[in-house]
Structure 1
Amino acid sequence: MKRILLLLLVAISFSSHAQVGSFNLGGRSAGMAGASLTLGDEFSLFNNIGGLGRLENHAAFASYQNRYGVSQFQVVGAGAVYATDIGNAGVGFYKFGDDIYSEQRVHLAVGNKIQMVSLSLGLDLLQYNIATVGTSRALAIQFGGIAEITSQLRFGAHIFNLNQAKYDSETGERIPTIMKGGFSYRPSDELMLNLEVEKDLDFDEIFKAGIEYRIVEKVFVRTGISTQPFIGAFGVGFHPKNLKFDYGFSNDSKLGNIHEISVAYSFKK
């Protein structure tokens, strides 16, 4: 009975866009309800690889997320970025679920910044396992970019599964192809306002809005909302020297609360 209930919960999660094809990670992103398309930080490797080229130092990072108070619905992710003068490279690992249902992702990406524009290309090895069905694997390509339109305004875009990879070549069932676009307005060094839209080719658009405010040096507060389903979020961050600690809380109106905590450390190249 426990296995049946968990598989039903996974199915509901799919219908509300909670998992398949969405790999957002990091407490900073979570605190803004996923409105992280224009961020150029370590977790760009998961949120929009277009920000990868903006990193100036090597970095290592990890995140843990618990969804809806269900121990089997855990997300763990980690990665590293190697920065050079001619471009940056990153590798990441993501895992959701347990032995009943799980998603795993190994991700490689390269990116560079040329003047005010950063562009990145990534390759993902995806593995999906359902205990009663078996395991499927696929390779997906993603592409992203961030452009500074003015000193206060940025535009970001990202597409996941550019090659429309399939779960199963026999059935033709495809991994979701997801496109994102959005703007970030930064009127001061302390304040950031983000507005984004996300579109799965098979579902309605998801709109996201997020705010980050630096209340004192190295301390940040965040909030955000997202639709389809409605999600309200808030978070805090503490960034002493080369370390970053971030926490995000969100409430999915259909499934419940989500907690995420992440840490990152940067190394001078």
Structure 2
Amino acid sequence: MSSPSLAQSATPITGARGQGMGNATACLTDEWSMLNNVAGLAGTKRSSIAISYDALPALPALGKMGCTLVHPGKVALGVSLYRFGDEVYHEQIAALGAATKWSHTQVGMKLNLINYAADGMGSKSVWSVSMGAITELTSWLIVGAHITNVNQPWLSKQSDERLPTVLTAGLLFTLEQNVIVATEVEKRINDTATGRAGLEFILHKKVKSRIGFQLNPQALTGGIGFHLRHFSSDYGIVYVQALGLRHQVSLAFTPRLTRKNEQSAEDL
């Protein structure tokens, strides 16, 4: 690929739940942990298959989609696929991750195969490593952090360009039994930090509403989620003044469980 500077334009943060909360996902544990903080895999209770599509009507070329397959256990496993862009330019990531839990701490690591392709300019593929951790400090406070592209793979030695390392750290507060607040800061090497925050409120046992914001770039977010025993759907919306509205829909399916495990899952 003769101009790798076209790369690095997209963040793989995926999932309408997180989007509704300002994309503050560093401390969240759900089926989208594979594309956010991989340590969250260790907190999943059910095997699941999920797919998400994120559309920006004003600029269709900036659409993205992702899918994940998660299996819990002493060592939880996950695989994910992610795509951003169109036929003229796109970025794709295939990842394999694992996570485990010790006491109140979850740790995880994943291997990413990242491909960049531009029409008429060829393509470039690199391997990168990401890792993360989530710790429950108290019954109302969780701390999470993850590092993306730890190894900073070369995109072009000729132009001295590497895939940047991204550091993210966040806090999650449980204000009441039905309210959580998530915050995080993301810092790319040689770039300005991004701040995010969001709130999730349980309206009903199976219905959740969300609101959030992001700084640099500035954005307002919101969303809603519906969760049944074996199926869940989430919708997230983002407003950026320069680009208008962005919409994301996520669907997840969990296979039938044993009666004992079903009851445990319903209590989540």
What's the TM-score once normalised by structure 2's chain length? Answer: 0.90
User: What SS does structure 2 have at the residue aligned with 1:148?
Assistant: strand
1:266 equivalent to 2:246? Answer no
Alignment map for 1:1-269 (pairs within 5 Å): 20=9, 22-84=11-73, 86-267=74-255, 268=257
User: What SS does structure 1 have at the residue aligned with 2:77?
Assistant: strand
Distance 1:21 1:112, change over 3 A: farther
Provide the C-alpha distance between the structure 1 equivalents of 2:10 and 2:229, rounded to a whole number of angstroms.
34
CA contact (8 A) 2:51 2:67 kept: yes
User: What SS does structure 1 have at the residue aligned with 2:186?
Assistant: strand
Bigger CA drift: 161-170 or 178-187? 161-170
Shift of 1:216: 1.3
CA contact (8 A) 2:41 2:72 kept: no
Shift of 1:77: 0.9
Provide the C-alpha distance between the structure 1 equivalents of 2:81 and 2:141, rounded to a whole number of angstroms.
31
**RMSD across aligned positions (CA):** 1.7
User: What SS does structure 2 have at the residue aligned with 1:91?
Assistant: strand
Question: Partner letter of residue 11 of structure 2?
Answer: S
Shift of 1:112: 0.6
Question: Partner letter of residue 233 of structure 1?
Answer: T
Shift of 1:71: 2.7
Instruction: State the match for 1:5 in structure 2.
Output: none
Shift of 1:176: 2.0
Shift of 1:87: 0.9
CA contact (8 A) 1:21 1:176 kept: no
Provide the C-alpha distance between the structure 2 equivalents of 1:117 and 1:69, rounded to a whole number of angstroms.
42
Provide the C-alpha distance between the structure 2 equivalents of 1:37 and 1:116, rounded to a whole number of angstroms.
16
Shift of 1:21: 5.4
Provide the C-alpha distance between the structure 2 equivalents of 1:124 and 1:208, rounded to a whole number of angstroms.
24
Same amino acid, percent of matched pairs: 30
Provide the C-alpha distance between the structure 2 equivalents of 1:186 and 1:96, rounded to a whole number of angstroms.
33
Question: Any unmatched runs of 5+ in structure 1?
Answer: 1-9
CA contact (8 A) 2:180 2:199 kept: yes
Provide the C-alpha distance between the structure 1 equivalents of 2:143 and 2:10, rounded to a whole number of angstroms.
22
What's the TM-score once normalised by structure 1's chain length? Answer: 0.90
Question: Any unmatched runs of 5+ in structure 2?
Answer: 259-268
Question: Partner letter of residue 26 of structure 1?
Answer: G
Provide the C-alpha distance between the structure 2 equivalents of 1:265 and 1:151, rounded to a whole number of angstroms.
29
Provide the C-alpha distance between the structure 1 equivalents of 2:98 and 2:159, rounded to a whole number of angstroms.
32
CA contact (8 A) 1:37 1:47 kept: yes
